[in-house]
Amino acid sequence: MSSSDGAAPPINVKILRSYGKLLGIPHTAHGARTVALERVGDCEITMFETLEAGSAAAPLFWMELFDLRVHASRDSRGCHNMSDAVAAFNDFASQASRLAELPSRDIGEAVG
C-alpha cells in the first residue's frame, strides 16, 4: 500500500508492515523466520526472529545487513522497539550506501 503519489512509505511504516509479515510466517524446523526489508546496492536489510524471541529479555526481532556480493553478514542488531529498529535500518542503509561506492576489488577487504 504505497501512497497515491508513489512515494515510499516512511521507514517506521515499512518496519511495522514487515514485522506483521514476519509474524505471519509459519515456524520452521530451525525456528528462524526472515523478511527482507529493503535492498540497498548489493546489500539487503532483513528482519528475523530467533528462537529466544519469546523470552522477556530478548529483542522482538533482529535486523541484519547482508552483503550479497560476498555472501556475508556485515552487521546485525537486536531491536526491542520501533526506535531501535529505525536506528538500525538507517545505520544499515548508510553502511550499504558507503559499500556501494567502494570498487569491487575492495569489497572483500571491507568485510568484518
Rg over CA atoms, the chain:
15
pTM metric for this prediction: 0.80
Nearest to 53 by CA among 14, 20, 89, 79: 79
Range scoring the smallest mean pLDDT among 42-46, 58-62, 93-97: 58-62
Outline where 2-112 has alpha helix (H): 11-24, 82-101, 104-107
| Mean pLDDT computed over 25-35 | 80
The crossing angle, in degrees rounded to 10, of helices 11-24 and 82-101 is: 110
Q: 8: pLDDT confidence band, cut at 50, 70 and 90? A: confident
Question: Of 17-21, 27-31, 70-74, which gets the smallest average pLDDT?
Answer: 27-31
**64 - beta bridge partners?**
46, 76
| CA–CA dist 62, 78 (Å, integer) | 4
